Amino acid sequence: IEEEIPSSYSFLPGKELVQVYNEKPDKYELVLALDTGDLDRLGKRVSIFREADRTVNIDHHTTNTEFAQLNLVKTNSSAVGEIIYQIIKMMGITIDRDMATCLYVAITTDTGGFRYSNTTPITHQIAADLVNSGVNVADISQIVFETTSLPKIKLMGKVIENLELLENGKLAFVHITDDMLKSTDAGEEDCDGLVNIGRNIEGVEVSVFMRQRGDDEYKINFRSKTYVDVSRIASRHSGGGHVRAAGCTVKGNMNEIKSALIKEIREVL
């Protein structure tokens, strides 16, 4: 791969088998693309893929473009880890603790710890077998789900400080400005998940997350809980998405954008 494995995943057994390359890579006989909807997602690795004698594509995205010679796309699998588990089982290979740990991490991260709607009975059956192979559930969960960087927790504090509840507690606004990132030493990756702070508050139906991009541009994420179709609001601002999660990018002053959005959302609350 092109970059080092993130340090938060350095506990994974077998990480020493992953090699980072700087120069033009070798030509390979067989290349497998995992969890890759299309060739663009391979980044610089696309040349390795294109030059290989044989190519395989194992994925679970509904948008997969079947770009390889051999394509195994199972869209009802919660994670590619599930598909790999099934292949290993079909090959008659015994899954040891290290293999189980990697597969478990692949599955638990893709299902949000068995919490997303993609979690199926099969997901849990596979987890049962992996835990039986000696996965350390508590340690892995602590590392994968609980551990936070100091900048991220500080940024979360700032976001909470600025949280606004409107319309009788049914509408929540949170935002991140460049100043907030600077003062907490936080980066783009630390913004992950903060969109949910507003949505998770009891009684909130719509939450709006505004992220500053340069001086007068805001990336806006909408979340709703039970009845508001936020994709409609996003599409009025040339954005899009789903009924419960949508987004758009708007130019202007934060307070003016906010006032306009409050007016629009008030009508559908």
CB 95 within 8 A of CB 129: yes
Q: Which residues are within 8 A (CB) of 39 and not within 5 positions of it... i.e. 6 or more apart?
A: 46, 49, 65, 67
Select the residue interacting with its own copies from 47, 125, 253, 259 (CB under 8 A). Answer: 125
The residue within the footprint of its own copies, chosen from 62, 128, 168, 192 (CB under 8 A), is 128
Residue 153 in contact with its own copies, rule: CB under 8 A: yes
Alpha carbon distances (Å) from 46 to 37, 60, 68: 13, 19, 11
Options 28-36, 41-49, 121-129, 257-265: segment touching its own copies (CB under 8 A): 121-129
User: Which of 48/208 has CB closer to its own copies?
Assistant: 208
The token pair that represents 166 in the structure block: 């409107």
Q: Is the dihedral of CA 245, 248, 254, 258 positive or negative?
A: negative
Q: Which of 86, 109, 149, 249 binds its own copies (CB under 8 A)?
A: 149
Q: Which string of x and - marks every residue 160-199 that binds its own copies (by CB under 8 A)?
A: xx-x-x---x--------------------------xx-x
Among 17, 90, 91, 138, binds its own copies (CB under 8 A): 138
Verify binding: residue 243, its own copies, rule CB under 8 A.
no
Q: Judged by CB under 8 A, which of 36, 57, 101, 119 binds its own copies?
A: 119
* Spatial contact of 82 and 122, defined as CB atoms under 8 Å apart: yes
CB nearer to its own copies: pick between 38 and 129: 129
Q: 165-198: buried (b, 16+ CB within 10 Å) or exposed (e) per residue?
A: ebeeebbbbbbbeeebbeebebeeebbeebbebb
| φ, ψ of residue 251 in degrees (nearest 5) | -95, 145
In angstroms, the CA 158 to CA 152 distance is 10
- Near its own copies by CB under 8 A: residue from 15, 66, 145, 187: 145
Residue 115 or 213: which CB sits closer to its own copies?
115
Q: Does 70 bind its own copies (CB under 8 A)?
A: no
What distance in Å separates the CA atoms of residue 266 and residue 269, rounded to the nearest whole number? Answer: 5
CA geometry: angle at 114 spanning 234 and 150, to 5°? Answer: 70
x/- letters, 1..40, toward its own copies (CB under 8 A): -------x--------------------------------
116 contacts its own copies (rule: CB under 8 A)? yes
| Contacting residues toward its own copies, per CB under 8 A | 8, 112-117, 119-125, 127-129, 131-132, 136-138, 141-142, 145-150, 153-154, 156-157, 160-161, 163, 165, 169, 196-197, 199-203, 225
